[in-house]
Structure 1
Amino acid sequence: MRWFGFGFNSFAQICVPDKSDKEESGSAVGQEKVCVPVDLVNHRGRSKIRASWSRRASLFLDDVNLPLVPGGYISSKPPIFRSLSSHLQAKSLALGGEHAVLLTAAGAVYTWGQGSHGQLGHGGLISEEEPRTVEALWGMTMRSVAAGGWHSICVGDGGDLYVWGWNESGQLGLPSRGLRKASQQKGDQQAVFISIQAFPALVDVSPSCEISTVSCGSRHTAAVTTTGYLYTWGWGEYGQLGHQTTSSLDEPQCVEFFRNENLHVVDVVCGSWNTFTAAVKKEVLGLENVPELPPVSTGSELWTTC
């Protein structure tokens, strides 16, 4: 398995310079923005990577459940340890900039913390001191959750993707006014823009694929399909979307690099402004004849509000 990195590189999180690198022209080493996935050679075969703000990556060989601990969770302010109700039976916890998203063993989603950008998914902008169930998802089983700076994502048992929170940079995959100024100038009165999505919304990343895993950066999102394709969207100023540009997107777009390299993506981890992806050669998995991606539909049918 090979790990790749792209996006913010000011602290050499992606490319660590050495003597030979400094002499090479056109190398990504030393660049603040890395727009094309770079092979992290020293991380080949590793099982997990965790991104951090100013480091290349923190590596975990085993699954780590922190900040969950037996009977509760760790808080950033006193009391440091807070107990969880026994009926929650927490499975995993994702932390955003100012909020938390918890997934229970039964597949229910609870959120708490700052709610000023709709990131709690309760329909308003009110903060919550204690875990509160996301009622719009009640009755549907979720298998994973992720949190960005001010947005939240979860994946349903059937591979459906649900999003809510701030959409200023298109990080929800919903139409963003800031990214579609041309439509405004043309006087398109029918355009619908979403700046804050306070309830979970269903987004179709790819018409024929289910989502296997998802991760959130500060203002961007990345999702891996069950067929091994990586889709990214949101803020792209540092190349963290992997599309060889620094443009932002409010619609999921496949990262062509991995398809062109005949790589099957198996995992993705977002840092605040960068992205790390694990992939294997399709021949290794016996997937040489995986069909090409179908045409991507564009327009309002890509999303619906729950």
Structure 2
Amino acid sequence: MAAPPRATAVLAWGSGEDGQLGMGGNEEKDWAHCVEALGSYAVTAVVAGSRNSLAICEDGRLFTWGWNQRGTLGHPPKTKTESSPGPVHALAGLKIVQAAIGGWHCLAVDDNGHAYAWGTSRPHSGAHPSSKSGK
């Protein structure tokens, strides 16, 4: 019998002006607060950037939140910032095991070693996640 999924607590604090704390608002937090939107997921890794954040779950799902101009969150921008974690649907079905944040882009690696990148390397452009083989 498989063990039930375990829930974890993701804590965040600091500047939240772009929603990068994941608490549903843009306020600053002087001490650690729980990112409640991720409370029912088994988060195994968190990556914090200056303006956005990522969380990798045990099942390989990737969540992003924060500044979303130029495709930096991996999905079409609904607003300039997204203050609650949301899944990267373009990577659904993949088991993401590692991720990183750059200045204008994000990267992820799946359990088969395929690398995915999205965002931009220059202002005024953007893209959705694609693999190094262009998938």
Count how many residue pairs are aligned between Structure 1 and Structure 2: 129
Check the 8 A contact 1:148/1:216 in 2, yes or no: yes
3-state SS of the aligned residue for 1:169? helix
| Distance in 2 of aligned mates of 1:157 and 1:173 | 19
Check the 8 A contact 2:12/2:21 in 1, yes or no: yes
Partner of 1:155: 56
| Distance in 2 of aligned mates of 1:253 and 1:159 | 16
RMSD: 2.0
Report the structure number with the largest CA radius of gyration: 1
Change in CA separation of 1:146 and 1:195 when aligned onto 2, cut-off 3 Å? same
TM-score relative to the length of structure 1: 0.40
Of 244, 251, 254, the match for 2:128: 251
The aligned amino acid for 1:148 is: G
Describe how 1:165-204 pairs up with structure 2 within 5 A. 165-176=66-77, 193-204=78-89
Unaligned stretches of 5+ in structure 2? 1-6
| Distance in 2 of aligned mates of 1:220 and 1:174 | 12
Partner of 1:115: 16
Of 196, 217, 225, the match for 2:110: 225
**Offset of 1:255 from its aligned partner?**
1.6
The aligned amino acid for 1:168 is: Q
| Distance in 2 of aligned mates of 1:250 and 1:194 | 16
**Offset of 1:123 from its aligned partner?**
0.5
| Distance in 2 of aligned mates of 1:137 and 1:250 | 25
Check the 8 A contact 1:209/1:227 in 2, yes or no: no
| Distance in 1 of aligned mates of 2:66 and 2:102 | 13
Partner of 1:26: none
Change in CA separation of 1:205 and 1:212 when aligned onto 2, cut-off 3 Å? farther
Describe how 1:1-306 pairs up with structure 2 within 5 A. 107-176=8-77, 193-237=78-122, 248-256=125-133
| Distance in 1 of aligned mates of 2:40 and 2:91 | 24
The aligned amino acid for 1:217 is: G
Check the 8 A contact 1:213/1:225 in 2, yes or no: yes
3-state SS of the aligned residue for 2:71? coil
TM-score relative to the length of structure 2: 0.86
**Offset of 1:119 from its aligned partner?**
0.4
| Distance in 2 of aligned mates of 1:247 and 1:195 | 13
**Offset of 1:201 from its aligned partner?**
0.3
**Offset of 1:210 from its aligned partner?**
0.9
| Distance in 2 of aligned mates of 1:121 and 1:154 | 10
Check the 8 A contact 2:70/2:125 in 1, yes or no: yes
| Distance in 1 of aligned mates of 2:113 and 2:125 | 23
Check the 8 A contact 1:159/1:212 in 2, yes or no: yes
3-state SS of the aligned residue for 2:37? helix
Which structure has more RCO (C-alpha within 8 Å, separation ≥ 6)?
A: 2
3-state SS of the aligned residue for 2:107? strand
Change in CA separation of 1:250 and 1:195 when aligned onto 2, cut-off 3 Å? farther
3-state SS of the aligned residue for 2:84? strand
Check the 8 A contact 1:236/1:247 in 2, yes or no: no
Change in CA separation of 1:226 and 1:248 when aligned onto 2, cut-off 3 Å? farther
